[in-house]
Amino acid sequence: MLQHLSIQYFTIIDTIELEFKPGMTVLTGETGAGKSILIDALMLALGGRGDSSVIRTGHERCTVTAGFNIQALPLIQQWLIAHELASDGECLLRRVITTDGRSRAFINGQTMPLQQLRELANLLLSIHGQHEHQTLLKPEKQRILLDAYAGHTALVKKVQTIYNQWRGTQDELNTLLSHTEQRQARQELLAYQTQELIKLNLQEDELTSLDIEQRQLANADHLLNNFQQLLGLLAEQDKSNVLNLINSAQIQVNSLQNIDQQFNPIAELLTNAEIQINEAVTELRHYYAQIELNPERLEWVETRLGAIHDLARKHRIQPNELIALQNKLQSELEQLENSDVAITKLQKTIAQLKQDYQNAANELSISRKQAAEQLGPKVEKSMHQLNMPGGYFSVQFIANPDNQPACYGLEKIEFLVSTNPGQALQSLAKVASGGELSRISLAIHVLTAQTDTSPTLIFDEVDVGIGGGTAEVVGHLLRKLAKSAQVLCVTHLPQVAAQSEQHLQISKLTENNITQTYIRNLSPTDKIQEIARMLGGVKITKQTLAHAKEMLGI
C-alpha cells in the first residue's frame, strides 16, 4: 500500500509530506483548488509523462517520492529481487525532473530506466479516472474491463503472443512464395558467381605471396647486379673489401693493446663486426642461390594476379575480400537451394500455430462468457442501488467478420444496457444519458477493481454526475472495496467523503501574486467542518454542521 508521498516544487506545490493509512482515503477541496494535483504528482513518481513545465516557477527541479509498504506483497518483493533491488519490506519510487528537460527515475535509491519504473508501478497501483466514462463507450475498453474482471491476463497475453507468432510466420512464408521467380533468377546468378570464384581457387595469403614473388621475378636483373656489387664491397674485391679493412684494423688495434689495455673493448667490437660481416655475406650468397631469371614463371604470376584483380573489380571489392565474398555467396546460394525445405517447414509451423491459437482463443472465449455471466447480475444490482431500479445489463459477444482471428481473440465485446423497464437492451452509446453513464461506469469500475491485484486503487472523480441518495451508495461501495485494498478517492461528494477513514483537504492560496497548494490531514473536528462546507457551500450553518455530524454518525 501507499504509505508516504513527498512532493517538492511540483507545479504550484512548494513542499508537501503526506502519510497515508490503510482503507479509504478521500481528497476534497473547493472547486479550482486542484484536487487532482496530488494524483498528478503521484503519477509522475510512478513513471508518468513529465517535462520541465511541471517544475514550480523559480526552482531548478521538482522531486516526487512515493513510499510503499510491500511486506504483504510477495509478487512485488520477487520483482525487486529479480532486478537486484533491496526491499527490506519497503519500496521507494522517486522521480526527478530538471529545467533542462531531463528526467531521472529511482527505485530504492538506484537509477533505473523509466520503463522498469512503469513496470513496477503497474504492480503497485491502478487508477480509475473521471474521463473513463466516455472511454467506456468504446468496445475495446469494454473488452479490457471484462478481461480484468475475469482475471485471465495470462490467457489474453498467450492469445496475443501466439497470434503475433502466427502472423509473423505467415508473412515470412508469403515473402518466400511471392519471390519465387526472383529467387530463381538470383539463384542462377549466385551459382554462376560462385562457380567463377571456385574456379579461381584463391587461397588464404596467396595474394601476398604472389605480390612478393612478382616483385622478385620482375626485378631479378636489378637484384643480381646489385648483389655482385654488394658482395664485392663486403668480401670479394681485392684489398678494399670490408673484411680486409677490418682485418687491417684488428692488426693495428692488437699492437696498441700491448701498450694500453683501453683498446681491449675496441678490439672486441672489431671482432664482432667481422663475425656479423661474415654472416651477412653468408645470407647474401644464400639469397643469390634463390634468385633466378624465369620469364615463364613471371608471366604465370602476373597472369594469376591479373585474374584475381579482374574478378575483384567485377564485384567492386578489394582482391583480399574475394574469399569472404565466396563464402557469403555460397551461404546465400545454399539458403535459396533449401528454400523449398524452408517453405515446407514454415507451413508446418503455421499449421501448428493456427491450432494453438484456436485452442487458446476458444479457452479465452469460454472464460469471457463465464465472467460475463457473473458480471451481468452484479452490474444490474449496482445499477439498482445507483437509482436505476429498472436497469438491465448484458455482455454481447460478436464474432469477428468471416470468423477471422485477431490478436484479442475470436470475438468483439459490447456492453448492452436498458435503464428503464420495458426498454430493449442496446449499446451504452445509444441508451445511457450522461448521468446514467457515470453511474454505470462507476458500478463496472468498482466491480472490476474488486478483482484487481493492485494493492492500491485510485478513483479520480469517478463520481462526477452523481448526487443525492445515489452518492451515499457510491460511498458505501468504495468503503466496502477499501476492506480488501487501499482506496484513494478524489471526490466532490460529501456522501462519499463521509465514508472515508482518512480525509485530506486540498486548498489553494494566492499571496503577493504567488499561488500555492496546501494539503491538510483533517482531524475529526476538521472533517465535520469540511463535510459541512461540501454540503452547504461557503457559509456553514448549524443545520449543515448537524447534517455533517449525522452523515458521520456522530
CA distance 126 to 129: 10
* The pLDDT value given to residue 213: 79
- Report if residue 210 sits inside a domain: yes
Q: Is residue 23 part of a domain?
A: yes
So what's the pLDDT on residue 242?
Answer: 83
Alpha-carbon distance 36 to 32, whole Å? 10
Q: Which three cell numbers stand for residue 126?
A: 491502478
- The grid coordinates of residue 297 equal 614463371
pLDDT of residue 289: 67
Q: Which of 429, 477, 524 is nearest to 133 (CA)?
A: 429
In a domain, 487, yes or no: yes
Q: Do 515 and 12 contact (CB within 8 A), yes or no?
A: yes
Q: Do 233 and 99 belong to one domain? A: no
What's the sign of the alpha-carbon dihedral 111, 115, 119, 125?
A: positive
**452 Rama sector, left if φ>0, alpha if ψ -120 to 50, beta otherwise:** beta
> Do 264 and 119 sit in the same domain of this protein?
no
**Cβ neighbours for 110, distance < 8 A, ≥ 6 positions apart:** 85
Contacts of 502 (CB under 8 A, 6+ apart): 20, 21, 23, 24, 25, 26, 521
CATH number at residue 486: 3.40.50.300
In a domain, 476, yes or no: yes
Rg (CA), the chain: 44
Domain count, the chain: 2
Same domain, 212 and 105: no
Do 117 and 4 share a domain, yes or no?
A: yes
pTM, to two decimals: 0.60
**116 and 40 assigned to the same domain:** yes
Residues 212 and 289 both lie in one domain: yes
Q: What pLDDT is stored for residue 194 in this prediction? A: 93
In a domain, 232, yes or no: yes
Phi then psi for residue 376, to 5 deg, are: -55, -55
Q: Which domain holds residue 290?
A: 184-337
For β-strands 456-460 and 125-129, DSSP reports them as: parallel
Average pLDDT of adjacent 10-residue blocks, the chain of 554 residues: 94 91 91 78 90 91 94 87 84 94 92 92 79 71 88 93 95 81 82 93 90 79 73 74 84 82 86 88 77 79 91 92 92 81 90 96 96 93 84 92 91 90 83 71 76 78 73 86 88 91 90 85 93 83 89 86
In a domain, 344, yes or no: no
Determine the 3-state secondary structure of 460 from DSSP.
strand
Both 107 and 189 in a single domain?
no
Q: Three cell numbers at 494?
A: 460529501
Contact partners, residue 404, CB within 8 Å, separation at least 6: none
15 and 89 assigned to the same domain:
yes
Whether 343 is in a domain gets the answer: no
> CA angle 127-381-425, nearest 5°?
95
Is the C-alpha dihedral spanning 106, 108, 113, 114 positive or negative? negative
Closest CA to 242 of 251, 226, 253, 231: 231
Q: What pLDDT was estimated at residue 527?
A: 94
Asked if 418 and 388 count as a contact pair (C-beta separation under 8 A), the reply is no
| The three grid cell numbers given for residue 265, joined into one nine-digit string | 673493448
Same domain, 104 and 191: no
pLDDT at 324: 92
Return the closest-CA partner of residue 122 out of 68, 52, 62, 82. Answer: 68
SS3 helix, strand, coil % of the chain, rounded to 5? 60, 20, 25
Q: How long is the chain? A: 554
Helix ranges restricted to H, 386-433: 428-431
Residues 223 and 319 in one domain: yes
Residue 255 lies in a domain: yes
Q: Are residues 196 and 316 in the same domain?
A: yes
Say if residue 103 is in the same domain as residue 194. Answer: no
Strands 486-490 and 103-107: unpaired
Phi, psi angle pair for 36, to nearest 5°: -90, 0
